Chains A and B, each alone.
Chain A
Amino acid sequence: GENVEQHPSTLSVQEGDSAVIKCTYSDSASNYFPWYKQELGKRPQLIIDIRSNVGEKKDQRIAVTLNKTAKHFSLHITETQPEDSAVYFCAAREPGTASKLTFGTGTRLQVTL
């Protein structure tokens, strides 16, 4: 099955700086890569996703890039704010499945003032 690795496990940035979280996946046929944000005590919520026919996608201060050749994708958050502090999970959809996702182990982002 699919294997997703995520780095770093913790990340601390100052408010206004950028944050980058990286993930690699194992199955070259995977074609859907979502990112979820989980605030403390809350449920995970989708913040952005990308499909394998696109190299980059942006939504205001967040962007995701995909390198299919290297089998890795990254989340970029610019101009970080305290409300960006949360745990972020990347995931990959297993090829040939309806919506079966394999998640990374998460990155705890702390934005300091």
Chain B
Amino acid sequence: NAGVTQTPKFQVLKTGQSMTLQCAQDMNHEYMSWYRQDPGMGLRLIHYSVGAGITDQGEVPNGYNVSRSTTEDFPLRLLSAAPSQTSVYFCASSYGWGRDYEQYFGPGTRLTVT
């Protein structure tokens, strides 16, 4: 198993540009989530999904969109990048209800917005 994969590993955007961060898992996990990590602020939840076709907002959803058309994939879209979105982004997945709650993280994407 590859586990949770993310692409790209690094990205530089100009203010106003849009892009999609890719996330995929091959563990048949129901639950997937996106976090951003900023110094001194821990991991903050952006959006999450409890299954294909079901998504919901987390703590810091503004400026980001998600969709979940398959169990495996959970892309994160930045609509119009802003310098405040400079961060490290982690995707995570877990089994969800009634099973192991452990979240498995991807390797992260380091995004810089200039």
A residues lining the B interface (CB < 8 Å):
1, 6, 9, 32, 34, 42-46, 49, 89, 93, 98-106
- Contacts between chains A and B (CB distance < 8 A), count: 55
Q: Specify the chain A residue showing the minimal Cβ separation from B32.
A: A99
* Given A43-B105, A99-B103, A100-B48: A105 and B97 interface contact (C-beta under 8 Å): no
Q: Which of B41, B43, B96, B107 contacts A99 (CB 8 A)?
A: B96
The residue from A32, A49, A104 contacting B42, defined by CB atoms under 8 A apart = A104
User: Taking CB as reference atom, which chain B residue is nearest A46?
Assistant: B102
A101, chain B: closest CB distance, angstroms = 6
Instruction: Assess whether B94 is interfacial by the CB under 8 Å rule.
Output: yes
Q: Which of A34, A49, A93, A101 has the most CB of B within 10 A?
A: A101
Inter-chain contacts of A99 with B (CB < 8 A) = 31, 33, 94-96, 101, 103
User: A106 contacts which chain B residues (CB < 8 A)?
Assistant: 40, 42
Docked complex Cα distance between A26 and B50 (Å): 23
Residues on B with C-beta less than 8 A from A100 are 33, 45, 48, 58
Interface size on B, residues (CB 8 A): 26
Instruction: Judge whether B74 is part of the interface by a CB distance below 8 angstroms.
Output: no
Knowing that A89-B42, A93-B101 are A-B contacts, what are 19 other residue pairs whose CB atoms are under 8 Å apart, sorted by A's residue number? A6-B42, A9-B40, A43-B105, A43-B107, A44-B90, A45-B105, A46-B103, A89-B43, A98-B30, A98-B31, A98-B50, A98-B96, A98-B97, A100-B33, A100-B58, A101-B103, A102-B45, A105-B41, A105-B42
Decide: B42 and A101 in contact? CB cutoff 8 A. no
Is the pair A49, B102 in contact by a Cβ cutoff of 8 Å?
A: yes
**B75 sits at the interface (CB 8 A):** no
Chain A residues positioned under 8 Å from B107 (CB to CB): 42-43
State A89–B35 Cα separation when bound (angstroms). 14
Contacts of B31 in A (CB 8 A): 98-99
Q: Are B94 and A44 interface neighbours, CB within 8 A?
A: no
When chains A and B are docked, how far (Å) is the Cα of A69 from the Cα of B97? Answer: 25
Could you say which residues of chain B place their CB within 8 Å of the CB of A104?
Answer: 42
